[in-house]
Amino acid sequence: MLLKKMKEYVTPDDIFDSVCDITVEYLQNHFIEGVVLDLDNTLVPRSEDVPSLQCLSWVEDLKSAGIRLCIATNNSNKNRVIKVSNYLDIPAVCRMYKPLPYLMRKVLADLIRLPAEKVLMVGDQHFSDIIGGNLVGMRTVYIAPLEFEAMYFRKLLLDMDKNLYEFFQE
């Protein structure tokens, strides 16, 4: 029973190679009106400060379709978060402490202003992004990280993340 419940929380609804592969049509087909985006290795590689032009174009396409967007990151580097937020012209919240649900509910209420079932959480980590979105009832999408993690501790967490995901796929 416990493993079944854990599987529900760690399993995304869909998997994409890149955030830019999530189309307006996909969002409309799933009745999604808002998207909460992780920052590091989802929108922009951890080693860079500015998203790609492809990412900028994708954000503009979603905004043109009336999709509400927000960045929700565990990153504590406020200057970096603000720089990306300003570049993409979407609101952002740092120090989210994902997967804890309190701040995610606040983002839904104050920034996205939609019920959780109409919002998609997109991220590259199961332990923070996917579990965090699932805990509050959002649809979740896992995407492949944009770059290899060089820091040992982060790499260890990502390896654990990958192993857990593979375990639940069996």
Beta bridge partners of 93: 72
- The pTM of this model reads 0.84
Q: What interhelical angle do 78-88 and 53-64 show, nearest 10?
A: 60
pLDDT < 50 stretches in the chain: none
> How many helices and strands, by DSSP H and E, does the chain display?
7, 6
Q: Quickly tell me which residue has 């290899």 as its tokens.
A: 148
Three-state DSSP class for residue 28: helix
Q: How many CB atoms lie within 10 A of CB 97?
A: 12
Domains, in order of start, for the chain? 11-169 (3.40.50.1000)
Q: Which helix (H) or strand (E) holds 71?
A: strand 68-72
pLDDT value at position 1? 59
Three-state secondary structure call for residue 98:
coil
